[in-house]
């Protein structure tokens, strides 16, 4: 996630490609053999689709970037006066396509980094690490996480049963005949799990004074507003001076609100995950990449945001590239994933 934050600070295609390579190497070496780890390929396809759609929009709808290197001149569709500023077709320049490619590659890199986080993180362990103040969200997420796998398993089981009986399992008719029992079975399992969690006191709350409740609400709401304002400040050139202090203050207030809110939740943790030295190193490596690229963007903006007018080839800045390589640290200090084992039993005679 910190690598994704670093990707928002640059449009240099060489640095963005290096960020993608670093995250992909960590995923390739440390991805566990679990169902959720297969989502990385879907994010890669989504990132490629984002790039293609952005380039298509630049070709069809034009771009405000001026350019002198005309690649093709498409037939232009005349539009009414109320659609001024929008055009369909017309001149397509290399500068406009290059600008669109840089902008799309930044968003694609962010999506790929998010996909790496989805492929590496165990959702059940993340759910167990939620603060006590968010226990209602935990119940909803548990039901959602169990609903989809049960739904897919029930579809496969019912379709196999219908094929064995010689019945049609494809098309609208087969879907309608399979859909109702599938939805009913998956929903019953999820509701049973939620009821079991509630029976074990997962949603039990303690009595807290009204002043504590009001303080918790004020800190949480103010913290979230501060995070939004600080993030907006960091993403804009005008808010560079106040963005980071407001963001840090908002995060501190939100954490204080979550800590106070957790006092009303009576629950224990079974075998909580230890936060050891390796966890600190993994976190520090990502934060270091984001911080160093943010510093480089303020010190040398031309290197991290190469210009397209005039059209010049991007160059690889050395020390920001070396900073990105710090993101490879988790591939060497974390334990290797356990090999998938075949748990099927031998047939007995």
**Of 175-179, 230-234, 262-266, 331-335, where does the model show the most confidence?**
331-335
Same domain, 217 and 259: yes
Q: Name every residue whose Cβ is closer than 8 Å to that of residue 244 and which is 6 or more positions away in sequence.
A: 230, 233, 234
Do 10 and 114 lie in one domain? The reply is: yes
Predicted confidence (pLDDT) per residue in 257-272, tens digit: 877 776 666 666 667 7
Say which residue, 237 or 193, is predicted with more confidence.
Answer: 193
Is residue 344 a part of any domain in this protein?
no
Rounded Cα distance between 101 and 92, Å, is 13
Question: Do 280 and 312 lie in a common domain?
Answer: yes
Residue 75 has pLDDT above 90, yes or no: no
Q: Last residue of some domain: 203, 224, 239?
A: 203
Q: Is residue 35 part of a domain?
A: yes
**Claim to verify: residue 114 and residue 199 sit in the same structural domain:** no
As a residue count, the chain comes to 349
Positions of E strands within the chain: 70-77, 88-93
Model confidence at 192: pLDDT above 90: no
pTM (whole model) above 0.75: no
Identify whether residues 97 and 211 lie together within a single domain. no
Task: Say yes or no: 147 and 232 in one domain.
Answer: no
Scanning the structure block, which residue is given the tokens 């510093």? 295
Beta bridge partners of 205: 265
Indicate whether 104 pLDDT > 50: yes
Distances (CA, A) of 194 to 134, 202, 272: 15, 9, 21
Q: Is the peptide bond before 97 cis (omega within 30 degrees of 0)?
A: no
Residue 345 lies in a domain: no
Residues 108 and 138 in one domain: no
Residues 7 and 112 occupy one common structural domain: yes
Which pLDDT score is estimated for 151?
67
In-domain check, residue 349: no
Which of 12-26, 42-56, 138-152 is the least confident region? 138-152
Residue 347: per-residue pLDDT: 45
Q: Which of 129, 123, 74, 128 is nearest to 97 (CA)?
A: 74
Measured in whole angstroms, how far is the alpha carbon of residue 92 from the centre of its chain? 33
> For residue 348, what pLDDT is reported?
45
Dihedral angle sign, alpha carbons of residues 331, 7, 104, 301: negative
Over range 130-149, report the average pLDDT: 65
The pLDDT confidence band at residue 343, using thresholds 50, 70 and 90, is: very low
Assess if residue 347 is contained within a domain.
no
Within its chain, how far is the Cα of 150 from the centroid?
A: 24
The answer to whether residue 121 is domain-embedded is yes
Same domain? For 91 and 26 the reply is yes
Identify the domain containing residue 244 by its residue range: 206-270
Q: Distances from the Cα of 336 to the Cαs of 245, 333, 344, in angstroms?
A: 38, 9, 24
Q: Assess if residue 339 is contained within a domain.
A: no
pLDDT of residue 322: 93
Do 93 and 23 fall within a single domain?
A: yes
- Say yes or no: 52 and 109 in one domain: yes
State phi, psi for 31 to the nearest 5 degrees: -75, 130
Residue 168 lies in a domain: yes
Pair (68, 104) in one structural domain: yes
**Could you give the number of structural domains in the chain?**
3
Q: Which of 270, 289, 317 is the last residue of a domain?
A: 270
Using one digit for the tens of pLDDT, what is the confidence trace for 287-315? 999 999 989 988 888 888 888 888 888 88
- Worst-scoring range by mean pLDDT, 14-23, 113-122, 225-234, 238-247? 238-247
Contact between 316 and 15 (Cβ < 8 Å): yes
């Amino acid at each position: 996630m910190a690598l994704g934050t670093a990707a928002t600070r640059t449009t240099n295609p060489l640095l963005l490609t290096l960020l993608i390579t670093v995250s992909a190497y960590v995923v390739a070496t440390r991805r566990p053999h679990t169902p959720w780890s297969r989502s990385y390929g879907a994010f890669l396809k989504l990132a490629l689709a984002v790039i293609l759609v952005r380039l298509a929009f630049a070709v069809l709808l034009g771009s405000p970037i001026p350019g002198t290197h005309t690649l093709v001149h498409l037939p232009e569709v005349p539009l009414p006066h109320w659609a001024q500023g929008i055009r369909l077709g017309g001149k397509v320049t290399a500068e406009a396509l290059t600008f669109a490619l840089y902008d799309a590659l930044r968003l694609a890199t962010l999506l790929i980094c998010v996909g790496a986080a989805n492929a590496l993180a165990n959702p059940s362990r993340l759910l167990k690490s939620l603060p006590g103040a968010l226990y209602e969200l935990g119940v909803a997420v548990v039901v959602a996480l169990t609903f989809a796998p049960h739904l897919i398993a029930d579809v496969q089981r019912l379709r196999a049963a219908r094929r064995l009986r010689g019945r049609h399992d494809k098309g609208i008719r087969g879907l309608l005949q399979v859909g109702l029992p599938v939805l009913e079975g998956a929903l019953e399992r999820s509701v049973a799990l939620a009821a079991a969690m509630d029976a074990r006191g997962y949603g039990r709350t303690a009595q807290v004074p009204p002043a504590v409740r009001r303080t918790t609400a004020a800190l949480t709401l103010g913290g979230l507003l501060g995070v939004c304002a600080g993030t907006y400040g960091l993403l804009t050139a005008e808010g560079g001076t106040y963005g980071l202090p407001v963001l840090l203050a908002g995060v501190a207030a939100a954490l204080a609100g979550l800590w106070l809110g957790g006092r009303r939740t009576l629950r224990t943790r079974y075998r909580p995950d230890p936060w050891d030295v390796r966890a600190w190193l993994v976190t520090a490596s990502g934060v270091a990449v984001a911080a160093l690229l943010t510093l480089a963007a303020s010190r040398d903006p031309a290197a991290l945001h190469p210009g397209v007018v005039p059209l010049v080839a991007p160059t690889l800045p050395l020390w920001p590239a070396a900073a990105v390589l710090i993101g490879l640290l988790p591939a060497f200090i974390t334990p290797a994933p356990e090999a998938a084992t075949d748990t099927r039993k031998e047939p007995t005679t």
